Amino acid sequence: MKLYYADHFVLPLPDGHRFPMEKYALLRARLRASGLFADDDFRVPDAASDTEILRAHDAGYLRRVAGGTLDAAEVRRIGFPWTEAMVERSRRSAGATLAACRSALAREGGAACAANLAGGTHHAHRDFGSGFCVFNDAAIAALAMRAEGRVERVAIVDCDVHQGDGTATILADTPEVFTCSLHGAKNFPFRKQDSDLDVELADDTGDEAYLTALDAALETVFTRARPELVIYLAGADPYAGDRLGRLALSIEGLQARDERVLGACRAAGVPVAVAMAGGYAQPIEDTVTVHFNTICTAARTMREA
């Protein structure tokens, strides 16, 4: 199982910034120390090219990002200060999901998995970034896999606590890519978009109710979409201890979530690319534990395929 990382492409943030950028390096360090993965399993992805990005994003927006000409309102909406390092980091993060998809699809004869140890930037829309998201890696990757002739049908299963609004809008006119989002009804973004399947959850939803809703959603995804590839956004932010989550899942409940999603992919013989998406717990080690469990669950589940 190949794990693509870009945490050494540092996006400099001011002191006190609420985005936990260090979680990515901590996750990779814990995975390396676990002994479950070989050194060769950790790969640095190529940066997403203009051609790849432009399938999902407007040319003017890409020019403003790449050239540093975003206006002040656009920068505030993204939530990161513009730097050349921010652009490179964003390209690499999108490239990691592209690489994970290609790696998962390269194995013949059934389900396989690869992961982006970051990604899940689902608030990036076609012509603007938002909510710490510059380029929408899942949309870029889904459209690339179709353009490259690797698959016809893709499902994006988004289990971040926040709705995948950018993903929904970018892919609204691409019926071959099925968008599914399970998210807090009253959480960001406060103006929701229409995914192919939206499952809105009340504040303080716990393990049992969440997993019941997830089971129903997965049945719908596999019945309606019949995907040849799943891109799974395994957000850590439904965790009860997350600062921005408002749901109440335990760490064990989140691991059960991963087992459900990945087990459904395995049972259907569908390759899956995993992205980490959000996570804002304090201490940060709780977020890293949730992400670590996702990767280990993926490796274990696909070994059993």
Write the pLDDT tens digit of every residue in 62-85: 999 999 999 999 999 999 999 999
Confidence of residue 15 (pLDDT cuts 50, 70, 90): confident
| pLDDT attached to residue 10 | 83
The 10 Å CB-count burial string (b at 16+, else e) for 134-160 is bbbbbbbbbbbbbeeebbebbbbbbbb
Q: Is the pLDDT of residue 177 over 70?
A: yes
Q: Is the pLDDT of residue 252 over 90?
A: yes
| pLDDT attached to residue 302 | 86
- Report d(CA 146, CA 149) in Å as an integer: 5
Torsion of CA 41, 42, 43, 44, to 10 degrees: 180
Mean pLDDT of 125-130: 98
Which of 25-39, 99-113, 183-197 shows the lowest mean pLDDT across its residues?
99-113
Mean pLDDT of 243-248: 96
Q: Is the pLDDT of residue 199 over 70?
A: yes
Mean pLDDT of 25-48: 97
| pLDDT attached to residue 110 | 67
Torsions phi, psi for 253 (to 5 deg): -65, -40
